[in-house]
Amino acid sequence: MHLHILGICGTFMGGIALLARANGHKVTGQDAHVYPPMSTQLEEQGIELIQGFDESVIKDLCPDSVVIGNALSRGNSAVEYVLEHNIPYTSGAQWLAENILTDRWVLAVAGTHGKTSTSSMLAWILEYAHLNPGFLIGGVPENFGVSAKNGELPFFVVEADEYDTAFFDKRSKFVHYHPRTVVLNNLEFDHADIFEDLPAIKKQFHHLIRTIPSQGLIIYPQADPAINDVLSMGCWSQLEKVADTPEHKAWSVHLLVDDGSHFELFWQEDSQGIVKWDLLGMHNVSNAVTAIAAARHAGVPVKYAIEALAEFKNVKRRMEVKGCVNGVTVYDDFAHHPTAIATTIDGLRRKVGSKERIIAILEPRSNTMKMQIHNKTLPDSLQQADEVYFYLPDDYVDKFDDTLGLLGSKAHAYSDLTLLSSTIIEQVQDKDHLLVMSNGGFGGIHNKLLTGLKNAQ
């Protein structure tokens, strides 16, 4: 069968492309504004990618079915052509459920933050235990080099996104997956372009909980009020919580190093061992605990999970070091929500201490950011940075006046990417850490910075 994917360079849809091709389908796709790592991954896998959404592409290719990503809506020329010519179409989540997840033990990782990292940890733990899991992750785990693979029965790890499924299916994607093991990492208001408020998101999470069997397992943080609200709506499955201190029927940790690189793990007040790994920050420690708990539900002894995490290599665009020039380190991170930004900076600060500068370079491009939902909380999330540089194109520069005002003299805004890069290069000092944060390509600023630093030697 020939599948044509609209929006193929999205992190989720790129994974669908890999799975479909591995299952013997011919796969082509269209997208706009493409950038690594998904565009690179598709090229490496030999999947044809056509720029733009010209309807003539579908006319010429004559696919058997079209998979439509949730970033596309009515009015898009390719979408209109599919509808007008009655070409069979589906969503990525529905295609995954009907073609890959049937008869699988699905381990789903949901929550506002940490889905990609936790899913990657969980998939790697199962792989380390020789279970050869399938997975679909919204990023590229370094341990695997791809964002999705079929694996072997029964286990399949999926990053379970609460974002809507498609323009014709407004349910959250995760309701399609019917998981047996579920991680609920956290729950905050996000995706303001889709959800009216936090209760609307809670309702979707409750729909997910309704699909989990009675012998299924939900792993969740005890201290998260929104998740507790969701569970109070009704829960018919087994529960394991992550607590702040050791207690009965709970997971907990004791930090042995402040940056989270060494910590002791407890289950029901009993020590399970010490995790020593390369990742930083309490957010990653929390992700690790839930991944270990989920793997244990699938039958992996905790000691093997701890061993696996010692060899975990994280995910591209999650505090990924892009290069170091003259003692200045450039990082790439996907953080785009105030909580994620705060935890990312906190993890780096714990590693480098107070004497080395952290220069935060932020592109607030998510729909929620552009809608000014986080303007009041964003400044607090950036407080541990020494300097903050915003890339604010002319179409929304005025939307962040409040944020810039609250940050005071440490905040700098630029609408020109070249000027932004050159200014940062002029201002850097020895041992600075340039932390680039965006959920998009950011105009390739990482390479611009590294090239500029080399030329400035």
- State the pLDDT at residue 373: 63
- State the pLDDT at residue 371: 61
Q: What are the DSSP calls for 97-139, one per residue?
A: HHHTSTT-EEEEEESSS-HHHHHHHHHHHHHHTT---EEE-SS
Which token pair is 41? 């991954």
The answer, as to whether pTM is greater than 0.75, is yes
- State the pLDDT at residue 402: 74
Task: Name the 3-class secondary structure at 45.
Answer: coil
- State the pLDDT at residue 280: 82
Contacts of 215 (CB under 8 A, 6+ apart): 180, 237, 238
Which token pair is 375? 């303007």
pLDDT by residue for the chain (457 residues), tens only, comes to: 999 999 998 889 999 999 999 999 999 999 987 667 677 778 888 888 899 999 999 999 999 999 999 989 999 999 999 999 999 999 999 999 999 999 999 999 999 888 999 999 999 999 999 999 999 998 888 899 889 999 999 999 999 998 899 999 999 999 999 999 999 998 987 766 777 888 999 999 999 999 999 999 999 999 999 999 999 999 999 999 999 888 877 999 999 988 889 999 999 989 999 999 988 888 899 999 999 999 999 999 999 999 999 999 877 677 788 888 888 899 888 776 788 888 888 888 988 888 899 999 988 877 666 666 666 778 888 888 999 998 887 666 677 777 777 778 888 888 888 888 888 888 888 889 999 988 777 878 888 888 878 887 6
Which token pair is 60? 């010429």
Tell me how many degrees the CA angle 433-333-443 measures, rounded to the nearest 5: 95
Give the count of beta carbons closer than 10 Å to the beta carbon of residue 454: 12
Residues 188-214: b if buried by 16+ CB within 10 A, e if exposed: bbbbbebbeeeeebbebbbbbbebbee
CA gap 215, 378 in Å, rounded: 40
Nearest residue to 274 (alpha-carbon basis) of 258, 257, 262: 262
Single-letter amino acid, residue 456: A
- State the pLDDT at residue 104: 97
Half-sphere exposure of 154 (CA within 13 A, CB side): 10
Distances (CA, A) of 61 to 9, 74, 348: 19, 21, 48
| Domains annotated on the chain, with CATH | 2-92 (3.40.50.720), 101-309 (3.40.1190.10), 320-455 (3.90.190.20)
CA gap 342, 335 in Å, rounded: 9
- State the pLDDT at residue 120: 95
